[in-house]
Structure formats: C-alpha cells, structure tokens
Structure 1
C-alpha cells in the first residue's frame, strides 16, 4: 500500500491493506488494526473512536484516487462528518484485528478542467465480523491552483510549521483518557469550558508530515478531549459525532475550543456541543455523544 494514496508519510501509520472497486459506486476497503497503537489506544485499554475515523479517512483518500481518478496533487478536505460507533467494538485485543469498510458514494460531481471534485460517502464497518460503526462524509478535492487561491497563498507547510505557536501547558492527561502528556491537545484557560488548542508539531502520529494548516484529525481530537473534560467522567465512552468544517485553522494564531453541555441524563447519556474559534470566527462545530460506562443508555447520531 502506498503511503501517498492514504495521506500518510509514515508507513507504520498506514491502516488500509487492500481494496476492491465494485459496481454502482459501492466499494470495499480492508484495514488492519494493531493490538495496541501508540496514540489511539487509551488509558482504558480501548481504542479511541478516532481510530475508526482515521481508518475512514485513509479509505476515502484511497478511493478518491483509484475509483474516481482524482489526481494525486489534489488537496482533499472534509466539509462534514457524521459517525456512530459501538464502544464495545473498540476494546483492544491481544493481536491484530481485521476491519472491513463498505463504502457507498451517493454522489460525486465530476470535475471540470481545473475544477474541484465534490463527493459524499456512506460507510459501514465491521471489526472481526462484528458491527463497528457507520459514517457519512461530505468531502472535496481541490486542484493545486484553486487550493492556493483558497488558502491565500499560505500553502507552504514548512513555513506554517515554523510559525506554530509554542504549546502551552496541557491539561492533565488522565482527564482526557491519555497516558502521555504529549498526546494532550488542549491547554487550560481561566474561562470555564474554554481551552486553547495545542499543536505539538513533533507528534509523530498527528503530524507525521508538515501541513499548511491544522489537520481535521487534530481538531476532532481536540473536540473529543474537550467533551471528556466537560462531561467530567473518566468512564465516558463516545458513541456518536456530528461535525461541520467551515474555515482552515492556522498554526500561528490561537484557536479556542469551547463547549456547551446540551444533555446529561440519569442514564449516563451526555450530549456536548463543541466549537473551534479562531480570530473571532467559527472554524468548526458539532456535537459529541457519550455514555458513561455501565449505563444502559445507547445512542446513534
């Protein structure tokens, strides 16, 4: 598997192992999860739901190039992301596990010469034959010239990395299901339910190659960590996510992660709204659903 097809520089972080292009825009992508991952394995010996998200991200990058002939120099970004996951399917095993994604592209607008490609995919996933989760993603692939205009010429990734703010002190790792402080992407502020985004550009998983803006996976990790801090329970497990991405987040200026608790009921079900704000403008926003371990509450969004 070529790392370039899935948007990774480090071969150790490539999860996808094979794919099969089918008829009527229905394709199958196979992946393999390790027994443990240096970043996506949490303190509870469960995988983060973002391992599922990263698997989906790699699969869509692969299919964009192989099934829909998106040129390799096009830049892809997500417009919206919806997912539902079974927390029990995220338990770590003693060995490798096989994940199979069935991907249906409900729409894909063919590009005009020099134009973008807009796609929408629905994903169903199983892990070792058992239900894992579902996702729906709207995403766009931009040609280099158009991407450069959208970014206002700020496309030099090494310059962007050099301008990254020095990370402030992190929140305690155990509060966000982490073991290592280097895996924490939030810093505390004096304001309740507001944190500053931390971008440790030396992190080998979140930043395995230079980027000209903060990647969406980092923003989603920040949202997940902020949701855990808002719920305030080390037993909380994620079951669903809904996010829209509106603006690029730059490295050289503060980005604030803000939360509002929308629901917390006696069954252990929690719904948290998370917003990322930079320069007074909303960059992304959405909701995360968690359930406290041991509760009978179940949710799918």
Structure 2
C-alpha cells in the first residue's frame, strides 16, 4: 500500500479531457489523480476565479464559488478515477443514480486573488458487480481548499458499453413513442435572469416560473448550444442541467439572496430533449436560518428526478460562510 505522505495533489496541468468526459479543455477542472491505498485516492482540482456559467451569479453570491462548480469537479474526478484505476474504457457511457453535496461554512468559498486549488480525499465504500464483472461504484469525495473544508460529495453510478447504451436509450424512447431521431427545436421562453439570481440570460434554464399556494412550477429549458451544459453532444438532458433547473425554480420560490448549502438528488429516468419537462418546487422545511425545497422533474406524466435543496438565509452565516 502506498503511504499517504507519498501521494500529493498537483496543479501543473489538467488531466486529459477524455478522462473527465469533456470536449473543451477549459471545462476540465481536475489536475491530478493518485492512489493512496485500496479504493482510496487523492485528487487535485483547480477552480477558475471567473467562469461564464458557474461564476454568473448576481449580487454578493458572485464573489463566492458555486457549490455546483465543486460538484462538477467531483463528478469529473469520479469518472476519471474509474478510467485510471478500475480499467473502465473511456468510451463507456455512465448512468448516475444519486449525486449529493453537503457544504461546510468556511472561508474556502470566497473567490480570492488566485485560482482555488482543491484537494479531494476519495473513498469507495461499495462496488456494484454482476457476477465477477464490476459495473458500478459508490464514491465519497471529501473536498477541501487549504485548511478549510468545502464540500462532501457522494454518489452512486454505473457504466456500460456503447452498444448497451444504444439499446437502453432506444428501448426507453420507444416506450415514450419516440423514434431514434431527436427532434431539435429552439429553446422555449426563459425566466428573467434577475428572478433566478443570474446576470446572463443565457444561463437561465427554466421558463417563467408560476407560483401558487402549493409551490412553484417552471418549464425546463435545454439550450443545446450552451458551451458548459452541453460541452459535447448528448442524447438526453444532463443531470447537471436538471439540478440547476431545480435551483433556479427554488430561488424563484425562496428568494435569490439565499445561499445553496446542500444538494440531494436521485435520478429515476432519462429526461428527453424533445419532450416538455417541468420542475415543481415546494418548501418542505423553513427552520431558523435555513429553508429546504423539494423539487421534482416531471416528464410524460412521470417523475424523472427528485432534487432536495437546502438554502441558508443571507444573514444566517458570516460573509465567509459556505456554499454558493
């Protein structure tokens, strides 16, 4: 077993974009991968001080790192580790079942004078097998910046060959009465950026929100030309867009000044690009200094994803507090 002292995170360059399933080198945030022991790893990542998508937040939140940016770095790390240390071919397709993040209230979230160098301590508490074949992992990534903890991310995912993916997607679309061809159309109307805490209208991923006594609803808007959310061609709406749609719908409910501190997401079905989808948000807990919003993504009369978000009130923590 390699000693922990012999493995360090480095930041000289990013890992190969193929390992992170990114097309643009600029969208790769992981910088090093190292094995510490059996199913234990140390990963380096660097967050840019400015990013056209993850850094686009109105008001004081624009001076903080977005927790969804850190979760994206964790997603890249998890996939890259499977390729580097578990022999998973880079052309494999991945399915995410759960993806969660819990933030700490530390100074790590403040954007400083230099890019943020992160250290991820990664463990694999469970492996998924079919017979002798490994086809999935559960991972926990404990993420810090310097001496300050930022976020603990955990998730469960599996992978398959391109042929298996094609058969799975064909069967799913056939069940919805859709063909192999994805009908493309222009994105629908979007909410005003100010309603969802954004400055750029291009980063809005929901339609105008509609609120009633039971909660808030908004159409999911998928812009296939978006360079971050659709860094490369996809045949479905990615989970990252669904989580952002949930956040924006929730912000339209609780107010854009609140800070995201926790994410808990479960994905039950694909969300198709050529069928209407809707996010429904409801406040389920409104305790002292925090609010929990439960979101569901609906498509074709079914719930495709469930995303719970916890927000801290603007005055619930000091300016160096966590997430968002």
TM-score normalized by the length of structure 2:
0.84
Confirm or deny: 8 A CA contact 1:28 1:100 kept in the other structure: yes
User: Which residue of 1 is the match for residue 108 of structure 2?
Assistant: 89
User: Which residue of 1 is the match for residue 263 of structure 2?
Assistant: 241
Moved more, 242-251 or 115-124: 115-124
Deviation string 1:41-79 (CA, Å, 9 cap, x unpaired) is 122222221001100110011001011111122101210
User: Which residue of 1 is the match for residue 278 of structure 2?
Assistant: 256
Alignment of 1:1-301 (within 5 A): 1-41=15-55, 42-43=57-58, 44=61, 45-86=63-104, 88-110=107-129, 117-152=135-170, 159-160=181-182, 163-188=183-208, 190=210, 192=212, 193-232=216-255, 234-265=256-287, 267-296=288-317
Deviation string 1:217-272 (CA, Å, 9 cap, x unpaired) is 1111111111111112x32001111111000011001000001110123x221000
Q: Distance in 2 between matches of 1:226 and 1:236?
A: 13
User: Which residue of 1 is the match for residue 176 of structure 2?
Assistant: none
Q: 1:90: how far off?
A: 2.2
Q: Distance in 2 between matches of 1:59 and 1:294?
A: 33
SS of match in other structure, 2:81: helix
Moved more, 169-178 or 64-73: 169-178
Q: Distance in 2 between matches of 1:255 and 1:116?
A: 33
Confirm or deny: 8 A CA contact 2:45 2:73 kept in the other structure: yes
Moved more, 181-190 or 82-91: 82-91
SS of match in other structure, 1:137: strand
Q: Distance in 2 between matches of 1:111 and 1:99?
A: 34
Q: Distance in 2 between matches of 1:31 and 1:296?
A: 26
Q: Distance in 1 between matches of 2:280 and 2:115?
A: 36
**Mind listing any 5+ residue stretches in structure 2 that lack a counterpart?**
1-14, 174-179
Q: 1:190: how far off?
A: 4.8
Change (3 A) 1:10 1:150: same
Q: 1:296: how far off?
A: 4.8
Q: 1:295: how far off?
A: 1.4
SS of match in other structure, 2:228: coil
Confirm or deny: 8 A CA contact 1:121 1:137 kept in the other structure: yes
SS of match in other structure, 1:108: strand
TM-score normalized by the length of structure 1:
0.91
Change (3 A) 1:165 1:47: farther
Q: Distance in 2 between matches of 1:19 and 1:38?
A: 26
SS of match in other structure, 1:37: coil
